[in-house]
Amino acid sequence: MEILYSICTKLLGMRLYLVLVLLFTATLESKAQLQINNLDELLQYADSHAPASLQSKILPKMAKQDMRVQASGLYPKINVFGTADYYPIIATQVIPAEVLGGKPGTYLKAQFGLPYIFTSGAEISMPLISFDKWAQVAKARASYRQSEWSYKAAMELFHIQLIQTYYQALISKEVLKLNQENTETATELSRIMEARYKNGVVNPSDYNRTINLNLDVQVSGINASKQVQLSHIALDSMLYTKDSIIINEDITAFSWPLLTEAGNPTERAGWKEADYKLQAAQYALRASKDSVLPKIALAGRYAYNFQSKFNNTGNVQFDVANIGARLDFPLFQGNYYRSARNKSKLQYELAKIDADKTRDVLTQQQQAWYDQYNAAFMKQNLMKEKVKNASENLRIAKLNLKEGVMEFDEFNNIYMEYNRARIDYLQNLADGILYYLLSTQKF
């Protein structure tokens, strides 16, 4: 009975294990896949779904609203109001009694209004001449244009990071393919050396080195798979997607076009952003200087008054209206105007330095990309020839190894040279594609 119980327990445990495996497999298969066929598809998906893109799109919208807020200061302003007041002591004035037909030389107290006063009405005002407000509107307009280019500059940087990560993923995939090829070579080498070892025609140390080479290939395969996974994780984090990314493109398709000059840095978003940032600082300085100039505004007011004692007698009702112009000429407010003007000057100087720095960085970056592409362009034929010769040497070495006319050291050197040639070729190819895109891409 104990044996039967043990067998049943094991069967149930195995069945439960199989159920868990099937559930886990189904969970993995149910995860959606994001198919990426080329770089354009990746960038389009990123522009529509990546948080970095969605956040950057908000900046111009905020700046546009700020521009409207500043522009509204030049429009007429209408305000409806109402007040309710109680005057326990009403303002009075002494006037000659004879004005009201009284005895000359005597005086009367005249009371202005009743204790309960209710007022409602409307006010309208509109600036006619306000130099600082005009400058502030111009500054807001420049800031809005700056925010548009700030968004494009942020997307440019995001695209550059995506392109670098994408081609790192492609080269990792090619290295993994190379490792699969090396696995076949190492397996065949192990088979040949093991047969020789059994026949006693090979040095035991060479046989052990063959085993180590096979192990190194397996370790390299694990590392290559890890790099592929890490590059995909990097793309996942940048796109913020829960889908499994599948890259279908191969890195080998590239025609190596000729570049005759570096890209124009003045077309970069960062350059335009710096220009409008400097322009906004100029208008801010102008607004601080114009703040001490006279301001003229049109103003009008209508009010309805109801005054009462709440004793059903003596209620007073009347309308009041006026329209006119108001002149404001600021003379002194501590050091407010001077400090504001000095701060605007410093902000302008800071924006000017920042613009010069940005232009220098972008110019140097474009030249560096151009130089790096040209270096890869000049090396690509040499790399192809090197891979071709290394491939032919490896083919001959495999034949000689099978025929027993080549030792392990010589084969291992040829094998290592082939791998270095292939990896150098792939790296140079990835550099060429990357720096060509960076030099010519309209971000």
pLDDT at res. 273: 92
Average pLDDT over residues 379-388: 94
Longest dimension (CA), the chain: 151
Q: Would the pLDDT of 17 be above 80?
A: no
The answer to whether 303 and 121 are in contact (CB under 8 A) is yes
Global model pTM greater than 0.75: no
Residue 338 CB contacts under 8 Å (≥ 6 apart), including other chains: none
Radius of gyration of the chain (CA): 42
- Give me 118's structure tokens: 């209710």
Q: Which of 300, 417, 441 lies closest to 365 in space, CA to CA?
A: 441
Summarised one tens digit per residue, pLDDT across range 340-356 is 889 889 999 999 999 99
What is the residue-averaged pLDDT of the chain?
A: 85
Q: What is the pLDDT of residue 312?
A: 67
pLDDT of residue 185 exceeding 50: yes
Residue 2 above 50 pLDDT? Answer: no
Per mean pLDDT, which range of 5-14, 53-62, 272-281, 290-299 is the poorest?
5-14
Separation between Cα atoms, residue 164 and residue 139, nearest integer Å? 37
170/250 Cα distance (integer angstroms): 7
Dist CA 263 CA 372 (whole Å)? 13
The confidence score (pLDDT) of residue 236 equals 86
- Answer yes or no: are the C-beta atoms of 71 and 56 closer than 8 Å: no
Across 313-328, average pLDDT:
87
- Where helices occur in 200-306 by DSSP H, the ranges are 204-239, 269-290
Q: Please state the separation of Cα 135 from the chain's center in Å.
A: 30
pLDDT at 204 over 90: no
What's the token pair of residue 349? 């100087």
pLDDT (0 to 100) of residue 24: 38
Q: Using one digit for the tens of pLDDT, what is the confidence trace for 129-142?
A: 888 888 888 888 89
| 8 A C-beta contact, residue 228 and residue 176 | yes
Average pLDDT over residues 365-388: 94
Question: Is residue 379 scored above 90 in pLDDT?
Answer: yes
One-letter identity of residue 58: I
What is the distance between the alpha carbons of residues 410 and 181, in angstroms, rounded to a whole number? 19
Compute the average pLDDT of residues 316-338: 86
Q: Are 149 and 341 in contact (CB under 8 A)?
A: no
Query: Does the structure show a pLDDT above 60 at 22?
Result: no
Half-sphere exposure of 360 (CA within 13 A, CB side): 6
| Size of the chain in residues | 443
Neighbours of 270 (CB within 10 A): 22
